[in-house]
Structure 1
């Protein structure tokens, strides 16, 4: 399948034209371009007259239950518009599948820089790196300290029992992926990790709005110096739950200088071990000071984060095997997911402390 054929599966440009014209008025300029850097929900850049927009929709084909809920993603971002949490401006949301074949929403495009594969020159001095780390942690603290009841999110999730449900949820997502991928190879250590997690769920945890996918390449830095985060994106897994899970997820995507080789270098930045960036221990210290939340049971949360990442990547692998993806990274999950299983085991056994 060519990239053009895949993009055509994502959006009926004629139907989208009619919808945008009805909602936003006519436009002299109209174009749609798929963003190829994402790995979950699909992102398309839409030019509509003077509007620079982003459209988000699920991937085509069958998806795991509860995954890729873009209307939920729109709801939380819309609720946060008037808070200190930095989110792009929401524009439209649509659950009429007759238009492009799925739910979708539209937001204004946040212009800026995303740190993903490498640092732009502007970000390479140690002071700027320190600022990047501080911004990342402080903006996460703002998410976790927002008054979610005051912004109409009190029914957005069930924070009680969230952590236990996370263990069950990602086990179910893995089982869904294994319906197809198990024919390719088995990953026995993931069964051991699941059993350990199920037996070691903390008895209680703080309650907060959680992002669910908070990491360096899901924030956009603006053009000012020193750099500030202008927008936080990819809220599809957001809910009310346990803030320690977000912190552990951020640490999963952060490398210290003495870390062992990365289990999935396609997703984890390799430059955070350079001079100026905080260490994982520094991140925990600053986060605890900003939120008054202590990172208790850190082995559990970090192992759960890697288990979650393994589940997501195994779902990628299923989508690849079924022909429902156009991403050159997905075939590599044949080897990467077993490596992540070993990573989770090392955390559980205390071989990879913070």
Structure 2
């Protein structure tokens, strides 16, 4: 097992070439260490100690990658553009598309210390006032993202906002079609077809054009380590673009349960029951604060929240196909046999006004 990890690590980084690259950009040092962050998602994260500097390198996984989710230069571009805005992001250092260094595009940024909230509430944020502040920080920061003058910071060519929301529905319908080629033999999901028809018939005809994060939720921001909660950085910008800001808000709301919901499950498998504790915002309160922060009115609430569940289900169904084909060794993937239909039923309850 150790040998496998070493071989994989060697595919991620050529230490001698990386040291030469960093020396050229940062100056020489007697201390150079590299560790892989095992909790990474679509892209690989490496922690680098360079003298008294703690750095992070982001690169795609080794092998062929065609998905825009692996475009780390795109991620660097938006981080660089946001350096002097009200959006908290890590400080960028350098990026390169020279594959002769570590075999792929990569970029370097400064490492931050803090807390990423995943499946439980941090002990230091356990008072009602801290919980309220956490939600306030999440919404105010999302508002800051959507209030960025993207042309002024050089992101005018970063996306194609016209028709963005329709393309979202079309793209995820195609993802389902791909997955169902295999998964339909294991079980049918008639709710998906009903949901697809409703979404296609109810795509909003107009929306604001803003910078969009694409995956904005609690575990993609870092809070400072001490109370009261304050967001130190927004992370994981791989899916960012210029598009419809309400897709970001709908996505965040899909990870934020209310007391009247039928379930506190969120995402493809997690549980966020702790978000029902005294002090946390109700979804309606998050929406109200968002509208105050941006000046936008969150119309078509049912559409955007249902779209979020539709996208989550699409992710899960692709997981399930890979499981059935034997192309994944992940205990999470078989769960999608039941979880995806649950997500579809949740979306239909939203459409019907039940949640």
Matched, 1:149 2:151: yes
CA gap of 1:335–1:60, structure 2 versus 1, over 3 A, is farther
Q: Select 1:19's aligned residue among 18, 21, 27.
A: 21
Matched, 1:340 2:348: no
CA gap of 1:99–1:173, structure 2 versus 1, over 3 A, is farther
Q: Is the 8 A contact 1:59 1:324 kept in 2?
A: no
Residue 272 of structure 1: SS of its match in structure 2? helix
**More divergent stretch after superposition (258-267 vs 194-203):** 258-267
Equivalent residue number for residue 274 of structure 1 = 277
Cα deviation per residue 1:77-97 (whole Å; 9 max; x = unaligned)? 100101111110111222233
CA–CA distance in 2 between the matches of 1:113 and 1:35?
15
Equivalent residue number for residue 249 of structure 1 = 251
CA gap of 1:59–1:26, structure 2 versus 1, over 3 A, is same
Equivalent residue number for residue 35 of structure 2 = 33
Q: Select 2:130's aligned residue among 128, 131, 142.
A: 128
Cα deviation per residue 1:137-158 (whole Å; 9 max; x = unaligned)? 1111111111111101111111
Cα deviation per residue 1:184-218 (whole Å; 9 max; x = unaligned)? 65544333322221111011111111111111111
CA gap of 1:85–1:183, structure 2 versus 1, over 3 A, is same
Equivalent residue number for residue 76 of structure 1 = 78
CA–CA distance in 2 between the matches of 1:7 and 1:324?
21
CA–CA distance in 2 between the matches of 1:88 and 1:327?
31
Q: Is the 8 A contact 1:210 1:240 kept in 2?
A: yes
Aligned length: 352
CA–CA distance in 1 between the matches of 2:211 and 2:153?
11
**More divergent stretch after superposition (171-180 vs 85-94):** 171-180
Q: Select 1:88's aligned residue among 65, 87, 90.
A: 90
Q: Is the 8 A contact 1:264 1:336 kept in 2?
A: no
CA–CA distance in 2 between the matches of 1:15 and 1:243?
41
Structure number, greater radius of gyration:
2
- 1:34-183 correspondence runs (5 A): 34-61=36-63, 63=65, 65-177=67-179
CA gap of 1:292–1:8, structure 2 versus 1, over 3 A, is same
- 1:193-272 correspondence runs (5 A): 193-261=195-263, 262=265, 264=267, 266-272=269-275
CA–CA distance in 2 between the matches of 1:60 and 1:325?
16
In structure 1, list runs of 5 or more residues that go unmatched: none
CA gap of 1:43–1:241, structure 2 versus 1, over 3 A, is same
Equivalent residue number for residue 306 of structure 2 = 303
